[in-house]
Amino acid sequence: MRNSLPLIFFLLMVISCKPTVPSEFIQPDDMEDILYDYHLAEAMARNDYSGEAEVTRIAYYQEVLKKHEVTEAEFDSSLVYYYSHIDRFKNIYNRVNERLNNEAKQLGAVVGDKRFTQLSVSGDTMDIWKQERDILLIPYPTHNRYEFTVKADTSFRAGDAFTFQFHCEYISQNSNKDAVVVLKATYSNDSIVQVSTHANSAGFTQLNLPTNKYGLLRQLQGFIYLTNDGTFTMKLMFVSNIQLVRFRHEQPEKTLQDADNQSNKEDSIPSTDNSRRGGIRQADSDDTPRLRSGRAPFRKGGG
């Protein structure tokens, strides 16, 4: 027993030193419940087709605060606190997202698209995303932009197509909800194709990079950029279930030389219609793939 006393003392010290949220702010469990109800209210407000959706959203927001006996000032100040403790806020949102997904499943909704995660890397269709699936963005430098790079390996072939997709939720003090989403491919002959779209409401966003005719893929790059109108407004974007899906059509496999020879014969690049279909946000018709010099800079999104 005597020998275990130092260990017990050490554990007590660790527990007592564990960082806690100051009492003047909403505690994590309470914040989780508020955010859960907040997003349920947001979903109901989106179904208001009377032309007064913003009025409905504000009314629902006030009801959520009233239910949890929290003032708007207390909620806003707590959000400011969690803004400066982004990892803690992300943990809260992971739990909120899990609850929202479970609620959707109980109502019969299909949550995300898990089909692609079950396929092998060498298969024709595969979710090749290896980075974090959930991210939290706020309109402050270093926290308002998420960038990624995927290097091509031997499993990539000429003729592959790609889809970048995710689900998002917003918290915003006004109706200004917008993020720029970009996906760029660089090929073996230094050709570049880039597509973009805007994620300006909660829900599912999808961005399609068409089958290439420009050579073998060297790398994919992309970003999600949460825009800011220059004013201080409380805004947050939670991105979940990120996927980068590779599609392969049935065709003879090309070598690097064959692909480059074919690309040199191309006089022009056909435009691709990425217009919105089936209620899924895709690259707008103005955002057709563009071929640029390999020396052209990777354009930054947003303002």
Q: What is the DSSP string of 182-243?
A: EEEEEETTS-EEEEEEE--SSEEEEEEEPPP-SSSEEEEEEEEEE---SS---EEEEEEEEE
State the Cα–Cα distance between residues 187 and 235, nearest whole angstrom: 37
Note whether residue 260 is domain-resident.
Answer: no
User: Which residues, at least 6 apart from 283, have a Cβ–Cβ distance to it below 8 Å?
Assistant: 195, 196, 197, 207, 208, 274
pLDDT at 71: 93
pLDDT at 293: 42
Specify whether 143 is located in the same domain as 287. Answer: yes
Residue of 236, 204, 243, 201 whose CA lies nearest to 222: 243
Specify whether 204 is located in the same domain as 241. Answer: yes
pLDDT at 120: 46
Environment class of 93 (CB within 10 Å of its CB; exposed 0-12, middle 13-18, buried 19+)? buried
Specify whether 89 is located in the same domain as 150. Answer: no
Domain count, the chain: 2
Please report, for the domain that includes residue 190, its CATH number.
Answer: 2.60.120.660
Specify whether 141 is located in the same domain as 233. Answer: yes
Query: What is the extent of the structural domain holding 33?
Result: 21-106
Specify whether 197 is located in the same domain as 59. Answer: no
pLDDT at 102: 85
In 3-state terms the chain splits into helix, strand, coil percentages (rounded to 5) of 30, 25, 45
pLDDT at 211: 84
State the Cα–Cα distance between residues 292 and 287, nearest whole angstrom: 14
Specify whether 150 is located in the same domain as 285. Answer: yes
196 beta partners? 182
State the Cα–Cα distance between residues 120 and 300, nearest whole angstrom: 33
Residue of 261, 71, 296, 271 whose CA lies nearest to 190: 296
Would you write out the chain's pLDDT as a tens digit for each of its 303 residues? 455 555 554 444 444 445 688 999 999 999 999 999 998 888 887 777 666 777 888 888 899 999 999 999 999 899 889 888 888 988 999 999 888 888 877 766 555 555 544 444 445 788 999 999 999 998 888 889 999 999 998 888 888 899 999 999 888 766 678 999 999 999 988 889 999 999 988 889 999 998 877 778 999 999 999 988 766 567 889 998 999 999 876 554 444 445 455 555 544 444 444 434 333 444 443 444 444 444 444 444 444
62 backbone dihedrals φ, ψ, rounded to 5°: -65, -35
Specify whether 128 is located in the same domain as 211. Answer: yes
Per-residue tokens: 250: 């049935």
Domain limit, last residue, from 62, 86, 106: 106
Note whether residue 93 is domain-resident.
Answer: yes
Specify whether 149 is located in the same domain as 247. Answer: yes
Specify whether 132 is located in the same domain as 237. Answer: yes
User: Which residues, at least 6 apart from 78, have a Cβ–Cβ distance to it below 8 Å?
Assistant: 25, 26, 31
Domain limit, last residue, from 56, 84, 106: 106
Note whether residue 16 is domain-resident.
Answer: no
Note whether residue 14 is domain-resident.
Answer: no
Specify whether 149 is located in the same domain as 101. Answer: no
Specify whether 168 is located in the same domain as 79. Answer: no
Running DSSP on this structure, what letter comes out for residue 62? Answer: H
Note whether residue 127 is domain-resident.
Answer: yes
172 beta partners? 235
Specify whether 58 is located in the same domain as 123. Answer: no
Environment class of 131 (CB within 10 Å of its CB; exposed 0-12, middle 13-18, buried 19+)? exposed
Residue with tokens 């994620």: 199
Note whether residue 240 is domain-resident.
Answer: yes
Residue of 201, 199, 89 whose CA lies nearest to 134: 89
pLDDT at 145: 94
Note whether residue 5 is domain-resident.
Answer: no
Domain limit, last residue, from 106, 139, 166: 106
pTM, entire model: 0.69
Note whether residue 96 is domain-resident.
Answer: yes
The residue count for the chain: 303
